[in-house]
Amino acid sequence: MKLILAIIQHQDASNLVDALNEEGYRVTRLSSQGGFLREGNVTLMLSVEDAHLDHVIGVVREHCSTRTRYVSPMPPIAESGEFYPPAPLEVQVGGATIFVLNAEVDRLQA
């Protein structure tokens, strides 16, 4: 078994979860936050048979888009009276950041 952790953007989450559910994959959706942009994103956690790994990554790829975001850096310290507007920094976010770990799954049922 493999455990897939997929960090994706909010905008893509519902469609991707629906697509995975429709194909019979169980998914846990966690709210998370990127350390760089400090914006909310979504982390999906799902375990799959090794043979399904490539297919599931393909489904993630199909539903997650790359988007451009602009970040305003902190303005530099200037002499009084001087103003240096900082140029916004362009970053590409997504489609998805994926981690794959070896896993064992135990379901405890009372």
Q: Which is nearer to ligand 2BA, 5 or 19 (CB)?
A: 5
CB of 7 to ligand 2BA, least distance (A): 4
Take residue 105 and report the two structure tokens written for it. 């799954």
Q: Which residues, including other chains, have CB under 8 Å from residue 39's CB and lie 6 or more apart? A: 33
Q: How many residues would you count in the chain?
A: 110
Q: Which is nearer to ligand 2BA, 49 or 99 (CB)?
A: 99
Residue nearest to ligand 2BA (CB): 34
CB of 109 to ligand 2BA, least distance (A): 33
28 three-class SS: strand
